[in-house]
Amino acid sequence: MKILETNLTAVTVYPDRARVTRTGKIVLESGAQQVTIVALPHTLDESSVRAAGKGNARLTGLGTTRVLDTDAQAGPAKDAQDKLQALLDQDKILADEQEAWTQRLAIVKQIGAQGGENFSRSVARGKLSLDDLTGVLDYLSQSHEAASNIMRDLTVRRRELQKQIDAAKAEADKVRSAAARETIHAHIDLDARAAGEIEIEFSYTIYNASWNALYDARLENNRVEWNYLAQVRQQTGENWTLPYTLTLSTATLATGLDKPELPPWRVDAYRPPQPRMMHARGAGPMAAAPAPMAEMAMAADTMPLQKMVYEEAEVESRAASVIYKIATPRDIPSDGEAHQVTITTLNVDAQIDYFCAPKVDEHAFVRAEFTNPSDYLMLAGQVNLYHDADFVGTRHVETIVPKQNVEFFLGAEERLHVERKETKRVTDKNLLGNTARTNLAYRIRVENPALERARITVLDQVPVSAHPDIRVKLHHTSPEVSPNEQGELEWFGRELKRGESAEFEFEFTMEYPKEMRVVGL
- Distance in angstroms (rounded) separating the CA atoms of residues 223 and 369: 10
Per the CB < 8 A criterion, the answer to whether 38 and 74 are in contact is no
Predicted TM-score (pTM) of this structure: 0.62
- Distance in angstroms (rounded) separating the CA atoms of residues 127 and 120: 10
Write the pLDDT tens digit of every residue in 79-98: 888 888 999 999 999 999 88
Note the pLDDT of residue 182.
Answer: 78
pLDDT, mean of residues 1-27: 94
Q: Which helix (H) or strand (E) holds 98?
A: helix 76-124
Per the CB < 8 A criterion, the answer to whether 250 and 357 are in contact is no
Note the pLDDT of residue 35.
Answer: 93
Q: How far is CA 440 from the centre of its chain?
A: 46
Q: Which of 20-29, 171-180, 211-220 has the lowest mean pLDDT?
A: 171-180
pLDDT, mean of residues 212-235: 93
Q: In sequence order, what are the beta bridge partners of 11?
A: 20, 246
pLDDT, mean of residues 148-171: 90
Res. 116 pLDDT band, cuts 50 70 90: low
Res. 140 pLDDT band, cuts 50 70 90: confident
Q: Which of 82-96, 266-280, 285-299 has the lowest mean pLDDT?
A: 285-299
Percent of the chain predicted with pLDDT > 90: 57
Write the pLDDT tens digit of every residue in 230-260: 999 999 989 999 999 999 998 876 544 566 6
pLDDT, mean of residues 32-56: 92
Res. 132 pLDDT band, cuts 50 70 90: low
Note the pLDDT of residue 174.
Answer: 73
Res. 305 pLDDT band, cuts 50 70 90: very low
Q: What is the mean pLDDT of the chain?
A: 83
Note the pLDDT of residue 299.
Answer: 35
Note the pLDDT of residue 404.
Answer: 94
Residue 301, pLDDT > 60, answer no
Note the pLDDT of residue 314.
Answer: 29
Give me the torsion for CA of 193, 194, 199, 204, rounded to 10°.
30
- Over the range 115-143, which residues count as b (16 or more CB within 10 Å of their CB) and which as e? eeeebeebeeeeebeeeeeeebeeeeeeb
Q: In sequence order, what are the beta bridge partners of 378?
A: 400
Residue 325, pLDDT > 60, answer yes
Query: Can you state the angle between helices 76-124 and 130-176, rounded to 10 degrees?
Result: 170
Residue 136, pLDDT > 90, answer no
Note the pLDDT of residue 304.
Answer: 44
Q: Is pLDDT larger for residue 296 or for residue 181? A: 181
Taking the CA atoms of the chain, what radius of gyration do you get in angstroms?
39
The DSSP 8-state label assigned to residue 483 in this structure reads -
pLDDT, mean of residues 255-271: 65
Per the CB < 8 A criterion, the answer to whether 431 and 437 are in contact is yes
Number of H helices, E strands in the chain: 3, 24
Residue 376, pLDDT > 90, answer no
Angle among Cα 461, 427, 358 to the nearest 5 degrees reads: 25
Query: At a CB cut-off of 8 Å and minimum separation 6, what does 101 contact?
Result: 147, 150, 151, 154
Res. 112 pLDDT band, cuts 50 70 90: low
pLDDT, mean of residues 66-70: 73
Residue 40, pLDDT > 80, answer yes
pLDDT, mean of residues 211-223: 93
Note the pLDDT of residue 265.
Answer: 75
Note the pLDDT of residue 306.
Answer: 39
| Distance linking the first and last C-alpha atoms of the chain | 83
Query: At a CB cut-off of 8 Å and minimum separation 6, what does 58 contact?
Result: 190, 191, 193
- Distance in angstroms (rounded) separating the CA atoms of residues 81 and 168: 8
3-state DSSP assignment of residue 77: helix
Res. 76 pLDDT band, cuts 50 70 90: confident
Percent of the chain predicted with pLDDT > 70: 81
In 119-275, the DSSP E strands lie at: 182-192, 196-206, 209-220, 223-234, 245-249
Q: Cα-flanking dihedrals φ and ψ of residue 249, to 5°? A: -130, 145
3-state DSSP assignment of residue 122: helix
pLDDT, mean of residues 398-423: 93
Note the pLDDT of residue 519.
Answer: 86
Write the pLDDT tens digit of every residue in 347-362: 999 999 999 999 999 9
